[in-house]
Amino acid sequence: MNRSEVLVVSFSSGERTRDLSEHCFKQLGFDNFVDISGSDGFVDKFLRFAEIAMKSDFQVFLRTDADRLVFSGIDDLIEKFLQDKVDCAEGIGFEFFMNKFRGATPHVFSRKILKLLSEDHSL
């Protein structure tokens, strides 16, 4: 996997960890980083994400939240995504408030999925 071929897009709304989250990605060699910030809702941010994706030349997109800190294991998620040729993959995190593991960001998306969303906002 070539990290320069992955666009990382972070959703933020004032999290104090935003810069630290970006730093973690950059330390791992992900230099293509976009922050979608503001008080607008998740759906609006996701539609902006799809629009950014379609205006880019990237084929692989990693969406994260500004309160997520990634480590080298992110490479495994992306490699599995590419190996299995799927359109979406997600990490798993332990949710302390819910006291259980659950799907969590970061998510990896193909260009195909984001194109569908950009063409049909009802999805």
pLDDT tens for the chain, 123 residues long, are 799 999 999 999 999 999 999 999 999 999 999 999 999 999 999 999 999 999 999 999 999 999 989 999 899 999 999 999 999 999 777 778 889 888 888 999 999 999 999 998 887
Identity of the amino acid at 52: I
Q: Are 21 and 68 in contact (CB under 8 A)?
A: yes
Structure tokens, 21: 């989250």
Confidence at residue 121, expressed as pLDDT on a 0 to 100 scale: 84
Confidence at residue 37, expressed as pLDDT on a 0 to 100 scale: 95
Close Cβ partners of 32 (under 8 Å, ≥ 6 residues apart): 4, 6, 7, 8, 58
Confidence at residue 104, expressed as pLDDT on a 0 to 100 scale: 80
Report CA dihedral (89, 114, 52, 95) to the nearest 10 degrees: -30
**Predicted model pTM:** 0.90
Confidence at residue 41, expressed as pLDDT on a 0 to 100 scale: 92
- CA separation for the pair 29, 39 (Å, rounded): 29
